C-alpha cells in the first residue's frame, strides 16, 4: 500500500469581524498599533514560522481596507479570500473550503489564529506545532486560570466558581483540515472557537501552555497595553 504523504501545515486567519466592543471607528483589525495595523503584526509573526506552507486571510466580501493596511502581505505563502461569513465559525469553515480547493488535504494541519492576538510570537506557534504534530486530535495554546472566577448577576457577584482544571483558550488552534471541517459543519454557528467544535464531536484537544502576552485585543484598554508591549524590546 502506498504511504500517506506527510501532512502540510497551513495558517488560517479569520479577519471578517467588525470588533464592535473595541469602540473603534473601523474594524479593529485595522486599528494602528505601534505603527502598524493590528492584523499586520499578526501576519508578520506567522510569516516567520517556516513550517507554515501558506497563510490564508479570510476577509468580509465588502472589505476594501486590507491591501492598504497590510501592503507587505504578498508572495507564494500568502493568500486572501473575501468569503467571510456572519460568524467566526462560518468564516473559518469558508476558509477551510478555500484551502481545500487549492490543494490542502484532509490530513493537513490548519492553525487558526485570531487576527486580534497581534502579540503572538513565532516560537509560541512552533511550540504548538511541536506538541500537536503526532497527536491524534490536535490542540490549542491555552493558559491555566489564576484568577478567582465570579458569576455575575445584574452587575454583582452572585457566585464564586471553582477554577481547578480551568484554562483560558488562546490561538493558534491546530487541527486536521478534515476533522475541523466536519466539526464546524456539525456544531453550527454558535461555537466560539475551533476546539469547542472538535470537543462537540467527542474529541479531547491537547492543551498546550501559552503565554500571558498572547491576549486577544477586545476592549479599548487592551490596545494601549498592546502598544506598550510591542514597543518594549523583547
Query: pLDDT by residue (tens digit) across 57-94?
Result: 999 999 999 999 999 999 999 999 999 999 999 999 99
Q: Is residue 3 part of a domain?
A: no
Cα 50 off chain centre by: 18
Residue 227 three-state SS: helix
Contact 196, 7 (CB under 8 A): no
Whether the predicted pLDDT of 1 surpasses 60: no
CATH of the domain at 199: 3.90.550.10
Query: pLDDT by residue (tens digit) across 183-222?
Result: 999 998 889 999 999 999 999 999 999 999 999 999 999 9
**Span 24-38, average pLDDT:** 91
Pairing of strands 36-37, 32-33: antiparallel
Whether the predicted pLDDT of 7 surpasses 70: yes
Parent domain of 93: 9-230
Q: Is residue 2 part of a domain?
A: no
Q: Three-state secondary structure along the chain? A: CCCCCCCCEEEEEEECCCCHHHCCCCCHHHCEECCEEHHHHHHHHHHCCCCCCEEEEEECCCCCCHHHHCCCCCCCCEEEECCCCCCHHHHHHHHHHHHHHCCCCCCCEEEECCCCCCCCCHHHHHHHHHHHCCCCCEEEEEEECCCCEEEEECCEEEEEECCCCCEEEEEEEEEEHHHHHHHHHHHCCCCCCHHHHHHHCCCCCEEEECCCCCCCCCCHHHHHHHHHHHCCCC
Domain count for the chain: 1
- Which residue is associated with the grid cell 481547578? 164
Q: Is residue 1 part of a domain?
A: no
Interatomic CA distance for residues 156 and 87, integer angstroms: 30
Give the CA radius of gyration of the chain: 18
Q: Is residue 219 part of a domain?
A: yes
Amino acid at each position: 500500500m502506498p504511504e500517506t504523504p506527510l501532512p502540510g501545515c497551513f495558517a488560517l486567519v479569520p479577519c471578517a469581524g467588525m470588533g464592535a466592543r473595541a469602540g473603534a471607528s473601523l474594524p479593529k483589525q485595522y486599528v494602528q498599533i505601534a505603527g502598524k495595523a493590528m492584523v499586520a503584526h499578526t501576519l508578520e509573526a506567522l510569516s516567520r514560522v517556516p513550517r507554515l506552507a501558506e497563510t490564508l486571510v479570510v476577509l468580509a466580501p465588502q472589505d476594501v481596507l486590507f491591501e492598504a493596511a497590510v501592503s507587505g502581505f504578498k508572495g507564494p505563502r500568502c493568500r486572501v479570500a473575501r468569503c467571510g461569513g456572519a460568524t467566526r465559525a462560518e468564516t473559518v469553515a469558508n476558509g477551510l473550503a478555500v484551502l481545500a480547493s487549492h490543494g490542502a488535504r484532509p490530513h493537513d494541519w490548519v492553525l487558526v489564529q485570531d487576527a486580534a492576538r497581534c502579540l503572538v510570537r513565532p516560537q509560541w506557534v512552533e511550540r504548538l506545532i511541536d506538541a500537536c504534530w503526532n497527536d491524534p486530535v490536535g490542540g490549542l495554546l491555552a493558559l491555566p486560570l489564576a484568577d478567582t472566577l465570579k458569576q455575575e448577576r445584574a452587575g454583582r457577584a452572585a457566585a464564586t466558581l471553582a477554577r481547578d482544571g480551568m484554562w483560558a483558550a488562546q490561538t493558534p488552534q491546530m487541527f486536521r483540515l478534515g476533522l475541523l471541517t466536519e466539526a464546524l459543519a456539525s456544531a453550527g454557528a454558535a461555537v466560539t472557537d475551533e476546539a469547542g467544535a472538535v470537543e462537540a464531536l467527542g474529541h479531547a484537544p491537547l492543551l498546550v501552555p501559552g503565554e500571558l502576552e498572547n491576549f486577544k485585543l477586545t476592549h479599548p484598554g487592551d490596545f494601549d497595553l498592546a502598544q506598550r508591549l510591542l514597543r518594549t524590546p523583547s
